[in-house]
Structure 1
Amino acid sequence: MIKQLAGGATALIDRRCQFDKAVFILGHMRCGSTALSHILCSHEQISGYGEAHIRYKDRSALGLLILNQIKRNGHLSSSKYLFDKILHSRYDSDVSDHFFNSYAIFIIREPINTIKSIGKLFKLIGSNEYSNDVFIADYYEERLSTLIRNWEKFPFSQKIGISFQQLTSDTDNMLDQISNMIGLEPALTNKYEQPKNKLGHGAGDPLTSHKYNKIISDNISTTSTDVAHNINLPESRITELDSLYQHALSVVTQM
């Protein structure tokens, strides 16, 4: 309750607490969002650091986002836009209709390497939250389904969809398209300074992303996986997930 009141008060004071002044990455875990978040948040017109874990039910959530950024040393008071990335549907389902006035960058990745990468991450950090491939596959399916639904709700001029492969192989072009959509001057470039909170809560990949200062190719990406590792899922389940991904790819990236 106290947080909501503080967020509401901040939203009344700060002119940026309008959804048309917000930029969101909408994706899923291990889609390549960490480096892109760092690039966006290195721009002088954007305030943010990574994933704030906020549900956007009304304008007060944007005030709460500012307070969250201040707490995490990721706030830029002179910025034009506020940034957050959302990787879980509990934060962008049941949201205000005004949420869809924001600028949205959708990122998706094919299922096999996504599942491998999520499993690798949670194993290395010692977490049981996604303890097996079945749980990960269920998360992936649900999240892609939510992204497909949300895509249709944003105005055409305020959304862009890219795949992990596009992000890592055609980086400069993707950054130019994002810059043009938002109207950023100067345009985004493929470099960033490490966020002040580095490996803190919500800052992204806690394993090796801090070793880089740009989006790198897929074969050396921090989301790369052990290709020899087999996914413990029935072939029919993998086929279902790939079919969903191909559908999402056709919708979100217009491919």
Structure 2
Amino acid sequence: MQLQETLRKVKSEIINNYYSYRINTTSDPYNILFRREPYKILFILGHMRAGSSLLTHLLTTNPEITGFGETHLQYSSDKDFKNLILKVYSRVRDLNMDHKYVLDKILHNNKFTEREIPDSEQLYTIFLVREPKRSIDSIIGIKPHWNQKQALGYYSKRLLMLENYAKAINSKERSFFVTHNQLLNNTELVFESLQKFLEVKQPFSEQYEISSTTGKRGVGDWAGNIKAGRIIRNSQKVESSMPDELIEQGIQAFNQCCNTLSEYCQTIERH
């Protein structure tokens, strides 16, 4: 057993050195050794409990997109994308390294150290938001030490920051906006629009691959139906104990954010 463990560690170290060599030998943030085309970086920008783990799985099941969820990396410039590429491949273990997009999802305001999203033509963003009632109740479910005002405070500040990101990027070619409700209830339209936005060959599907990080704390959703391997729709009405005043504040923040994102981003194409 000890020999097997030693061999496993040696193998892991060799693979990690392989990734590091290919990624860090070149200075360009988007290029690696032995690869012709530069990578594109794909950010899911949302808030906690918006459905970002589901969207991550739906996206990374596509053979042109790789990622595993929330990396918790910080970004000060596009040079930090090298860290993302290394961290993702060290986790997903794909020696071919032939994906078009490398994905990270960002749910908190402290991940861009300059308080601004890096400016890059190679960066594509998907903005994902969810209405306040279910969001805030669900946030408290994973943050039991928060009260409703604290959860609403996080939610409102995060939505405002998403607006700021969209304005800073200011590119409909590289920004896409979708709501949790659209993802669940206009799924095919969302899939068609995302395929066109990302210019990937294979259509997206309601079924997705389960990985070793699925349902893991710190990476993504560990409290929902994420291990089902497919979209689960729960139409059951949830009663909220939030005071009407707080609900109204959340709705105002949500509507304002949706209006701004709709102005600065591509949205689903209705036929």
* Length-normalised TM-score, structure 1: 0.81
**d(CA) in 1 for partners of 2:143, 2:38:** 33
Once the two structures are superposed, the pairs formed by residues 50-89 of structure 1 within 5 Å of their partners are: 50-73=69-92, 77-89=97-109
Deviation, 1:97, is 3.9
**d(CA) in 2 for partners of 1:91, 1:16:** 23
Which one of 196, 200, 203 corresponds to residue 216 of structure 2? 200
Tell me what 1:46 maps to.
65
Once the two structures are superposed, the pairs formed by residues 1-255 of structure 1 within 5 Å of their partners are: 9=24, 12=27, 15-16=30-31, 21-73=40-92, 77-92=97-112, 94-95=115-116, 97-99=118-120, 101-123=122-144, 128=145, 131-154=146-169, 155-219=171-235, 227-231=238-242, 233=243, 235-253=244-262
Q: Is the 8 A contact 1:47 1:77 kept in 2?
A: no
Figure out how many residues of one structure are paired with residues of the other and give that number: 237
Q: Is the 8 A contact 1:46 1:79 kept in 2?
A: yes
Identity over the aligned pairs, expressed in percent? 25
Q: Is the 8 A contact 1:48 1:83 kept in 2?
A: yes
Q: Name the SS of the counterpart of 1:156 in structure 2.
A: coil
Deviation, 1:32, is 1.0
Deviation, 1:41, is 1.0
Deviation, 1:164, is 1.1
Residues 148-203 of structure 1: per-residue CA shift (max 9 Å, x gap): 11112231111111111111100111011111111011122222111222233543
TM-aligned CA distance change 1:162 to 1:96, over 3 Å: closer
**d(CA) in 1 for partners of 2:143, 2:240:** 15
Deviation, 1:38, is 0.5
Q: Which runs of 5+ in 2 are unaligned?
A: 1-19
**d(CA) in 2 for partners of 1:218, 1:250:** 26
Task: Give RMSD over aligned pairs.
Answer: 2.8
Deviation, 1:68, is 1.8
Quick check: which has more Rg, 1 or 2?
2
Q: Name the SS of the counterpart of 1:157 in structure 2.
A: coil
Q: Which runs of 5+ in 1 are unaligned?
A: 1-5, 221-225
Residues 86-134 of structure 1: per-residue CA shift (max 9 Å, x gap): 11111146245424751111111111111001111234xxxx3xx2111
Tell me what 1:223 maps to.
none
Residues 224-251 of structure 1: per-residue CA shift (max 9 Å, x gap): xx823412x5x33332221121111222
